[in-house]
Structure 1
Amino acid sequence: MAASKVDIGDPRGKVVSRFKVFWNDPFPKRVIVLQFPNRSQDKPYNARNYLKPTRMRYKPNSKFVEIDVPLDTQLPSYFNEDQALRFGQNLAKNSLIQNNGSFGLAGGFGIGGVSGRSQKSETAAGSEQVPRPTEVEDEVLRQLTLSGKVQEFKEGDFIYAMATFKGDELHLTRVHSVCSLSPHNIHLDAATDNERSSHMRGIESGASAPDARVLNVAMRSINAESGTPEDVGATLRDLQEDVWEHLEWIDEDDDKAYFAFQDHLFYNETGSVERLASAMSPSSYLGAISTPKLDDKVVGQTNARRPGVRFADVWNESTDEEDSTVEVMQG
C-alpha cells in the first residue's frame, strides 16, 4: 500500500506524503549503530562488494571497537604490493600485535607491553585465539583496521531511532549508542614500534647510548563529572588490560540479518496499537523551538557572560490552551 498523496496546492503547505508512525518495542539487546564517515554510501562494507569485514573485536569495559576489512588489491593504481609486503612483515614481527595487543588509545598506547592479565584471562576462559590480519602465508598486508569508541546516550540526551518503512507505515526503533569507525593505521604504528625495539636492543647489547636527560612527565587531567584530578596513566593501563571480545560479523544479505530485520525493526501488532497524543499543542511546540523573546524584566539567575543580565522562565498563562507558550525573558 503506497503512502497517501496530497495535492501540492493544499493551503496547509506542500505535503508530499503522509505516514502512520509507530514507536517499536525495545530491542531485546542494546542497539549500536556503526557509522563509516570515510566511506561512500554507494560502496558499503559487505559481501556484495567483496568487502565483507573479516573480524570484529569489542572491549566491553572501555567500549572500543575494531573491525578488519579487506583492501581492494585488484587495482595497481591503488594497491602497492611492495609496500604491502613491507608493512605486513612489520606487523608479523611486532610482539604487541602477535600477543593480541593493540596500538593507539584502545590499547593504552602500548604502556608496558601486553599485560599478563589480558593473556591469562583469555587462556583461562578458553577463548579461541583469533588470528590477526597479518597472519597469512605471504605476510602481505591485505586488510585495513577500522577503530572507534562507542558513544552511549544518557538520560536527558536526544533520543535517536532507526527508521524502517512498510507501505504507508514508518516504524521507529530506539538506538542506545553509536560508534564512528575510521581507518587506524596500525601498520605504521608497528613499523615505528619495531624501530624503537631494535634501537633499545642495540643499547642493551653495548652500543653507545645517548646522553641521559632528566625528563619528568606528569599525565593528569580533570574528571568532568567530579572535578577532581585523575591519573591518565592509570586510565591507559585500564584500557590496555581490557580484554578484546571477538564477535561474529553477519553480512546484511545473510538470512540471519534478514530475519532480525523483520522480527525486531517493525511493530507487528499495528491493528491493536494505542494511538499516542502529543503533550504539546502546535503553538506551544513552535514557542519552545523559536528564538527567545526579549523583555525588560530582571528575574532569575545572573548571566555569567553579561554581568547584571538575568534570565527566567515565565509561563504565559492564556485562556486558550492552543495559545499557551513558555517564554524565556531577558532584561
Structure 2
Amino acid sequence: MDSDDDPVVSSYDVFLTDSEVSRYVFQYLDRPKKHPYIEGKGQKPTEMRLKPRSGLVEVDIPISIRQNYDINKGARYGEAMKKSRASRDGGAYGMAGGFSSGNAASSGSRVKSEGQGDIEILDNKKVVDSASIIKTQPLGGRIKPPEEGDPVYMLATFKDKNLHLSPVSAVVQLHPQLHHQDAMEEIPKGRGTKTKKDDDERPAESEARTIDVKIKAAEDGEQTMLATNLDLLKKMQDEKWKSYEWIDAETEEAWYTYENYMTHQQPEDLPQLESAIQGEEYLDAMSAPRIDPAHPEMTGWAMKQNRQKQKDGVSGSEDEAG
C-alpha cells in the first residue's frame, strides 16, 4: 500500500502523569451538558462530602427559589430537615445512614441559609423566614472499588506537541438524594388536639432507635451476601463525612491545580518507557486467535511455535544444500 494513501498528519510525545493522585470523574445523569453546575450558571456546588473508606459522595447544589419553586413545600421540607433527629444530630439518610435515621455519622445540616432570621418577600405574596426554606439539592453516588478486568480510563491533555495522560481513579454517577422526604417521614403524625392533662397522663414516648434485623437466608451463599451487605451498611453509617470546598472551574485556583496535576512541568526529565512485549505478541494479545489453515487445531501460541519450527527446518535444509 502506498504510504501517501494513509499519511501521518501529526505526531506527539506521550507522557503519563502521577498515578498516585486521585482523580474522579463525576457524571450528572439527569443534567444536560449545556447546563453545567458552575458559577456562571448560578449553580456552583456549595459543598462536597466524602466518606473515603465506604466511597460515598454527596454534592450540594443550590436551588433557585426565585422561579419554579413551591414556597409552601420548600418551607415545610426545610422545617422538617431542621427538626429531624438525623439532621440535628449531624446524621444522614439513605445508604449513608444505613437506611435508618438515628445515630448516623456527621454531615451537618442540609438546610443552607443566607442569614439566620432573615425575612424574604417572595412573589409579593408570601413572607417567609429564609432560614426555614430548603435551598440545596444533594446529589449522591458511590465510588466503586476497582476490580480486575475493569477498564482503565485516562484524561488526555495537549500541551504544545506533548500529550499528557492522567489515570482516572473512578467514574462516579451522581443522582438526586431525597433527604427532605426522609425527614418528613420521620416527623410523628399528629394525633389531634391534646390537653395539658392528657400530656401529663401520657407516658413519655421512647426515642426512636435503629433496629438491627437479622434474616436467615435459604442458602449459605445468600446468607454470606446478606451479612456482607449489612456489614457494608454499618460501615457507611458509622464513618464520618469529610467536607471539601468546591472550587469553580473558571477560577485561577482551578487552573493552577489543572496545570500541576494534569501535565508534567519538566517532561524532559522523565524516564523513557520500554516495551515489555514484542509486536507479534501484542497482536496476539489484542486480536482474535489466529488459525493456521493447514493445522486448524493450532491457534495463537501453538501456531507460532509450529511456524518457528518450519522456519528453522527450512533454514537447516538450505545450510546443508550450501
> TM-score if structure 2 supplies the norm length?
0.69
**What residue number does 2:94 align with?**
104
Aligned to 1:12: 6
Q: Give the aligned residue type for 1:12.
A: D
**CA shift for structure 1 position 93:** 2.1
Q: Which residue of 1 aligns with 2:111?
A: 133
Q: Tell me the CA shift for residue 109 of structure 1.
A: 0.4
Higher helix share: 2
1:264 aligns with 2:254: no
1:133-282 aligned within 5 A: 133-134=111-112, 137=117, 138=130, 139-154=132-147, 157-194=150-187, 197-198=188-189, 218=215, 230=227, 232-280=229-277
Q: Which amino acid aligns with 1:101?
A: G
Residue pair 1:163, 1:170 contacting (<8 A) in 2 also: yes
Q: How far apart are 1:234 and its partner, in Å?
A: 4.1
Q: Could you tell me how far 1:75 is from its partner in structure 2?
A: 3.0
**Deviation digits for residues 232-266 of structure 1, max 9, x if unmatched?**
44442332111112222222222222211111211
Answer yes or no: is the 8 Å Cα contact 1:91–1:134 preserved in 2.
no
Indicate conservation of the 8 Å contact 2:47/2:59, yes or no: yes
In structure 2, what is the equivalent of residue 325 of structure 1?
A: none
Is 1:57 the counterpart of 2:49? The answer is yes
Q: Deviations over 1:185-236 (max 9, x none)?
A: 1112222222xx3379x9x958xxxxxxxxx861769999xx6762544442
- Percent identity (aligned): 26
The Cα offsets for residues 47-78 of structure 1, whole Å up to 9 and x where unpaired, read as 122111112211122111111110233433xx
- 2:227 match: secondary structure: strand
Q: How many residues align?
A: 271
Equivalent residues of 2:91, 2:108 under 8 A apart:
no
Answer with 130-139 or 91-100: which moved more.
Answer: 130-139
Deviation at 1:42, TM superposition (A): 2.1
C-alpha distance in structure 1 between counterparts of 2:173 and 2:182, whole Å: 21
The 3-state SS of whatever aligns with 2:154 is strand
- State how far apart, in whole Å, the 1-side matches of 2:156 and 2:245 are: 24
Aligned residue in 1 for 2:34: 42
Structure 2: distance between partners of 1:241 and 1:179: 22
Contact 1:222 1:228 in 2 (8 A): no
Gaps of 5+ in 1: 1-8, 120-128, 207-215, 299-310, 321-331
Structure 2: unaligned runs, 5 residues or longer: 118-129, 204-212, 310-322
What amino acid sits opposite 1:82 in the alignment? N
The CA distance in 2 between the partners of 1:131 and 1:229, in whole Å, is 31
Cα pair distance change 1:314/1:193, threshold 3 Å: farther
Higher-Rg structure is 2
